[in-house]
Amino acid sequence: MRRFPRIPFPWVLLLAFICGSAAGAAAANALGGLILQQIGYLDSLYRTGTALSGEQKGRLLGYVFCQRAREFGLAVLIGMTPAAAFGFLLICFAGGLGCGLLVSVLTMKAGMFGIFLFFRMVLPQWLLYFPAWAFLAVKSEDGLGKLRMRSWLLPAVLAAAGIFLESYVNPCLIP
């Protein structure tokens, strides 16, 4: 009997993300006009992106911090369970689903310019979030509970810098 070579875990995570992206794009295209009616916050974000006051940016920072802290905290808790690898597969699939959905919606609204808008909306903070998530995902294969405390410093700093970019830099890039 012939044995198949084992696929490295990071490649499996990438495959889960790609499958999620395809599913998100398919869902957005299947829902079409219905999803465009439901997603109205993108329109208001275009109009008010650079016009946020200091207080509004502070509230946005608090909101983004709470949202990302919950996401990273949940990922750490999942990473400490015996099903950590499977949990991160689901997280990668869900992340791809969201990206595929967002790219499709922006493309439906703005044509090919929607892809450029997607990169302006997502790329700055995800240049920092991605290494933190990748660290957690790859280390989850062995279990995050085995990591030393100093190993958590880099993902925490990257996540904090990504939160700052998402709150203060992205509103200026979106319009």
Write the pLDDT tens digit of every residue in 128-174. Answer: 888 888 888 877 777 666 666 677 788 888 888 888 888 777 766 66
Nearest alpha-carbon partner for 157 in 133, 123, 128, 136: 128
Specify the number of domains making up the chain. Answer: 1
Residue 41 included in any domain: no
* Percent residues over pLDDT 90 in the chain: 10
Residue 44 included in any domain: no
Residue 37 included in any domain: no
Residue 14 included in any domain: yes
Residue 36 included in any domain: no
CB 125 within 8 A of CB 165: yes
Q: What is the pLDDT of residue 139?
A: 77
Nearest alpha-carbon partner for 18 in 76, 72, 89: 89
**pLDDT tens for residues 85-101?**
888 889 999 999 989 98
Residue 38 included in any domain: no
Give the number of residues written for the chain.
175
Residue 94 included in any domain: yes
pLDDT bin (cut points 50, 70, 90) of residue 52 is: low
Q: Specify the long-range contacts of residues 79-83, CB closer than 8 Å, at least 24 apart.
A: 79/136, 79/139, 79/140, 79/143, 79/144, 79/145, 80/143, 80/144, 80/145, 82/143
Residue 15 included in any domain: yes
CB 168 within 8 A of CB 53: no
DSSP 137-174: HHHTTT-GGG--GGGGHHHHHHHHHHHHIIIIIHHHH-
Domain that holds residue 126: 9-31+53-173
CB 9 within 8 A of CB 87: no
Q: Which residue has the tokens 């016009």?
A: 51
